[in-house]
Chain A
Amino acid sequence: MSDDTTVTPEDVAVAEAAPAVHAIDPATDTVARTLASVEPRVGVSKPDTILVADGVQRRFGGMTAVDVEHLEVQRGAITALIGPNGAGKTTFFNLLTGFDKPNHGHWMFDGKPIAGMAAAKVAKSGMVRTFQLTKALSRLTVLDNMLLAARGNPGENLFGSLVKPLWARAERENTEKALEILARFKLDTKKDDFAGSLSGGQRKLLEMARALMTDPTMIMLDEPMAGVNPALVQSLLGHIQALRDEGMTVLFVEHDMHAVRHISDWVVVMAEGRVVAEGPPHSVMQDQAVVDAYLGAHHDTDLGDDALLDPAVLARLEAEEEKR
């Protein structure tokens, strides 16, 4: 959260004007169309799931950080995971990707049970995540960060590494691919710089680019837009949609409601560890449980409402809440 930018209405106006992102239109968007027929109810089953989680619980001391009874994620869709600070989104990501162990629960990815699997194996099976607090490999160049992520390089085997001809070709091809991805993220001019010299936002971009280098089946992004400038956010959203259109499944955590509303096919809302609502973006943001989770009970405000970006309106809402 440290490198979150505050979004002003002007930024949003810029974002709104950029053409890269096409707003979800159920008529043309097959995934959205499929999901439109799914009842927006917590734990609802989806027609083609890639991830199914059951009874996932994680407690820290007496506090239950995650308690997800049943959640299904549609294959080939962009699913947003939203919720207030401390809702347990990152912890849930950590559990799913093997970076943390649950107290209870199991989950299937692509038809295979992966609960309890080591993080590296989870990633190898195609579920690749990024971190909320970026993990750039500082004293490696940007290009090396990318090349490190490539799969199946024979030079990553100790014995293979001794014979350069064995891996020179893989390295060349990977470099080409890396430069192409870096160009998409406007990092190609930085390829020979140490990753540690990048700015906070650039590191976010690098981490996402690096994750893509692994050719994941499902990419899990923890606040990918935090700290990224609004114009770039716009093109990032376009890229994420392009990934989806190529068949990748995207699950992302984001606090920027406009990003969520624009690109997600489905939204899952967490609060205090539980999934409190899920559904298509427009309807879910009007859901009473969601508004309650974010703003306290008894507001008839839609979370997607631009008015919420206005500090004055927010202050008024908070004041009202306090009076209650």
Chain B
Amino acid sequence: MDELTRVLTQALAELIAPTTAAYALAAIGLNLHFGYTGLLNMGQAGFMLLGAYGFGIATIAGAPFWLAFLIAMAAGALFALILGLPTLTLRGDYLAIVTISAAEIIRMLGRSTVFQEWTGGASGLKGNQFKETFQALSPLPDGRMALGPLEYINTGSDSWWTRLFAWGLVLVAVLFVWLITRSPWGRVLRGIREDEDAVRALGKSVFSYKMQALVLGGVLGALAGLVFVLPRSIAPDGLGRTVTFFVWTVMLLGGAATLFGPVLGSMLFFAVYMLLRAGMRTGLEGVVSSTFVEQFGGLLVGVTLMILVIFRPQGILGNKRELAFNVR
């Protein structure tokens, strides 16, 4: 019985974990790219890693928190501009290829010894090097706090303050995306997703809109990276292809082109993922190794994504009516 409570508590904790918030943010960004505009960004982890580096390196260099925050955003925006300029005039598939390889390049550069002085190479930047400014910002009193079965320190790496900040940011992002996507601007994006030539024929500069979407989604990705590293160190391999793949799963699970889809998707994904792994670890203790559990968990994610795309392509919150007719 105790074990069951422990497993359930672990899953519950995932619902509000900072990492869950980070994925939600990244998926909100990806949703702007893919859900609303139809852009195939296969390198969201690259944006996240750049955001994390931007924040970490700036902080270590002595920048105050909000300046480092802005630098992280700027890093994401710049990356989007560089990737978008040559590819957004081409067919959609090219952006996919360019983003997937660019994200890998960022990771490799992060690992390489050339920039080790700033990035810390493969071992990355330790948490205590860049978290002081963030934790100094905490309005919470010292000590610990329990909310139901969940108990954390108030201020620290894996703390209530980190959670508060991360989910606050998610809330702001959702509000922002709601404002821009309900507007005529959002309508142009959805038009581009359906058929960019038709939108061009109506006198809208498709390139400019795609670029705006890519930059905004990229900035959200960079902020997701910032949130992602608040409870851990900045390690290039922690933000690799798997992360991009998870972000896609999260977005498709919740429902592309829906406002709350990415948030719901992220919470559900990580809660269930944890339930499975913790459940297996506890239930099959001694039968299978913990590495097997991790690998099997990853495999299940892949299978889930496939089942999802085949049987419920609109995700949980998506509109069935939209798929009632043939989508090209």
Contact = CB atoms under 8 A, between A and B. Distances in A.
A123 B201 CA distance: 6
B190 A167 contact: no
Contacts of A210: 202
A138 B322 CA distance: 9
Given A124-B203, A139-B327, A194-B322, A161 B186 contact: yes
B194 interface: yes
B203 A161 contact: no
Query: For chain B, which range describes its interface: under 10, 10 to 19, 20 to 34, or 35 or more residues?
Result: 20 to 34
A144 B194 contact: no
B200 interface: yes
B216 to A, nearest CB: 8
B183 interface: yes
A186 interface: no
B324 A197 contact: yes
B96 to A, nearest CB: 21
B326 interface: yes
Interface in B201-219: 201-206, 212
Given A128-B202, A156-B184, A162-B183, A196 B325 contact: yes
Interface in B181-205: 183-188, 190-191, 193-195, 197-205
Nearest to A154: B184
A171 interface: yes
Per DSSP, chain B at the interface is helix
20 contacts: A99-B200, A119-B197, A123-B201, A124-B203, A128-B202, A135-B195, A136-B198, A137-B191, A138-B194, A140-B187, A145-B191, A147-B184, A148-B188, A158-B180, A160-B183, A161-B186, A194-B321, A196-B325, A196-B327, A211-B202
Interface of B: 179-180, 183-188, 190-191, 193-195, 197-206, 212, 321-322, 324-328
Interface of A: 97, 99, 118-121, 123-124, 128-131, 135-140, 144-145, 147-149, 151, 153, 155-158, 160-162, 164, 167, 170-171, 194, 196-197, 207, 210-211, 213-214
Given A123-B202, A135-B195, A213-B202, 19 more contacts: A120-B200, A124-B203, A135-B197, A135-B198, A137-B199, A140-B187, A144-B191, A148-B184, A148-B188, A148-B202, A149-B202, A156-B183, A156-B204, A158-B180, A162-B179, A162-B183, A194-B325, A197-B325, A207-B198
